[in-house]
Amino acid sequence: MGAPRIAVAVVTMGNRPDEVDALLRSVAKQDIAPARTVIVGNGCRLPEFAERLSLPGEVTTLDVEENLGCPGGRNVALARLRDFGDVDVVVELDDDGLLVDADVLRRVQELFAADDRLGIVGFRIADENGETQQRHVPRVGASDPMRGGYVTGFLGGGHAFRMTMLAETGDWPAEFFFAHEETDLAWRAADRGWRILYAPELLLQHPRTSPARHAIYYRVNARNRVWLVRRRLPLALIPVHLGVWTALTLLRIRSASGLRAWFGGFVEGLREPAGERRPMRWRTVWRLTRLGRPPVI
């Protein structure tokens, strides 16, 4: 088998033109060129990035009239790549990220070529000072961000998927809009027997942020968590997971308005349809537990 053919996908709302320019320039400087680059304008019209930057490989820009959220926008890119039919691995990057090193795509290619059951590779995310926030380390607790290995999840800002894995698992849960969509996809991949690798040598530089910067964060975070467990956990684990998470939330949220929004989202998650229920097998629960994150935390 030859080297996997790599594509790059970026979704933007059009409000970060300088950051997108910088990201695409970092893609253009990679020591292997992506076969294709897809840029999705999520609820916006895109400028002609390809002409201005002379990106290598085939470049496709897509304008979507409505903001579909991050997972929905990424599904648009995946659908177009699937139509082309000539890509083995897609690298998805946040529009305000930056590939500091020039060998990231080559390393991704080598990792997937070496393991045919590798489904997802997660990048390390660090700010301009080289610091990684604890929430960006895919392990329980304050683990060393430089310690790589097989894990139970991945970072949405920078990662790579094998296209044949997505053909088995399905794409992003677009109805989530944002929050917990990575966990939903990772649990589906793990249940299908695909491996998830955290590779800290693959660096995406990304500004330090808080997810609570989004006005709808608390409501959507709660709703999606309930949807996630209703879709993916065995029945016996659903109250355990929600109980642990509710206790942690009550300890962490300090604002009354945040708690009201959170409880509203929790109720919405219980009342609204969660989508297809396809719970993971118990052997997957055990596998995730052995990897350090049982699916109740």
176 and 265 fall within a common domain: no
DSSP 117: T
Within a domain: 184: yes
Residues 77, 80, 82, 86: what is their CA dihedral angle, to the nearest 10 degrees? Answer: -100
Number of domains in the chain: 2
Q: What average pLDDT does range 131-140 have in this prediction?
A: 84
- Average pLDDT along the chain: 92
135 and 29 fall within a common domain: yes
Residue 89's domain comprises: 6-209
Round to whole Å and give the CA distance between 70 and 85: 23
Place of tokens 């949220």: 253
169 and 225 fall within a common domain: no
Within a domain: 139: yes
Q: What average pLDDT does range 7-33 have in this prediction?
A: 93
DSSP of 120-148: EEEEEEE-TTS---GGGSSSSSS--TT--
Within a domain: 193: yes
Place of tokens 């002379």: 54
Within a domain: 296: no
205 and 218 fall within a common domain: no
Q: What average pLDDT does range 154-166 have in this prediction?
A: 97
Question: Quick check: helix, strand or coil at residue 164?
Answer: helix
Helices vs. strands in the chain: H and E counts, helices first: 10, 9
Round to whole Å and give the CA distance between 234 and 277: 10
118 and 263 fall within a common domain: no
pLDDT of residue 142: 62
124 and 166 fall within a common domain: yes
Round to whole Å and give the CA distance between 12 and 20: 8
User: 203-254, pLDDT tens digit by residue?
Assistant: 999 998 766 555 588 999 999 999 999 999 999 999 999 999 999 999 988 8
Within a domain: 297: no
pTM for the predicted model, two decimal places: 0.94
Within a domain: 77: yes
User: 28-76, pLDDT tens digit by residue?
Assistant: 999 999 999 999 999 998 876 555 566 778 889 999 999 999 999 999 9
pLDDT of residue 38: 95
162 and 284 fall within a common domain: no
Domain boundary among 193, 209, 225: 209
Amino acid in the structure at residue 42: N
Within a domain: 198: yes
pLDDT of residue 56: 77
Q: What average pLDDT does range 187-191 have in this prediction?
A: 98
